[in-house]
Structure 1
Amino acid sequence: MKRRSFIQKTALGSGAISLGGAMVYAKGHKLEAPHKFNLKYAPHLGMFKELAGEDPIDQINFMADQGFTAFEDNGMMKRDVALQTKMGETLAKRNMTMGVFVVDKGGNMANTLAAGKQEYLDIFLDGCRKAVEVAKRVNAKWMTVVPGGFERNLPIGVQNANVIEALRRGAEIFEPHGLVMVLEPLSDSPDLYLRTSEQTYLVCKGVDSPSCKILYDIYHMQKNEGHLIHNMELTWDEIAYIQIGDNPGRKEPTTGEINYKNVFKWIHEKGFDGVLGMEHGNSKQGKGGEQAVIDAYKQVDSFL
Structure 2
Amino acid sequence: MTWNLRYAPHLGYRPPYQPLFTASVGSDDPFDHVSFATERQFAGVLYAAARMRSAPEQERVGNALARHRLDAGCMLYTAFDQLRNTSWATSSADARRWIENELAEAIAATKRLGTRRLAVLGGARNQVPIALQHAAFIESLRYAADLHLRAASSSACKR
User: How would you bin the TM-score normalised by the shorter chain?
Assistant: 0.7 to 0.9
The match for 1:166 among 134, 140, 153 is: 140
Query: Aligned pair 1:113/2:88, yes or no?
Result: yes
- SS at structure 2 position matched to 1:148: coil
Greater C-alpha radius of gyration: 1
Query: Aligned pair 1:75/2:49, yes or no?
Result: yes
For residues 163 and 61 of structure 1, do their structure 2 counterparts lie closer, same or farther at Cα, with a shift above 3 Å needed? same
The structure showing larger relative contact order (alpha-carbon pairs under 8 Å, at least 6 residues apart) is 2
Alignment of 1:248-287 (within 5 A): none
Alignment of 1:144-293 (within 5 A): 144-149=119-124, 151-176=125-150, 177=152
Counterpart for residue 89 of structure 1:
63
Per-residue CA deviations over 1:44-90 (Å, capped at 9, x if unaligned) read: 12211222121321111111111101111121011111111110110
TM superposition shift of 1:154: 2.7
TM superposition shift of 1:102: 0.5
The 8 Å contact of residues 38 and 70 in structure 2, kept in 1 or not, is answered as yes
Q: Distance in 2 between matches of 1:157 and 1:124?
A: 20
TM superposition shift of 1:156: 3.1
Query: Aligned pair 1:60/2:34, yes or no?
Result: yes
- SS at structure 2 position matched to 1:172: helix
TM superposition shift of 1:107: 2.2
Q: Distance in 2 between matches of 1:156 and 1:110?
A: 15
Counterpart for residue 98 of structure 2:
123
Amino acid at match of 2:76: V
- SS at structure 1 position matched to 2:7: strand
TM superposition shift of 1:99: 0.6
- SS at structure 2 position matched to 1:59: helix
Q: Distance in 1 between matches of 2:130 and 2:58?
A: 39
C-alpha RMSD over aligned residues:
1.9
Query: Aligned pair 1:38/2:4, yes or no?
Result: yes
The match for 2:117 among 124, 142, 150 is: 142
Q: Which has the higher strand share?
A: 1
- SS at structure 1 position matched to 2:139: helix
TM-score (norm 1): 0.44
Amino acid at match of 2:122: P
The 8 Å contact of residues 38 and 68 in structure 2, kept in 1 or not, is answered as yes
Structure 2: state its 5+ residue gaps.
12-18, 154-159
For residues 50 and 126 of structure 1, do their structure 2 counterparts lie closer, same or farther at Cα, with a shift above 3 Å needed? same
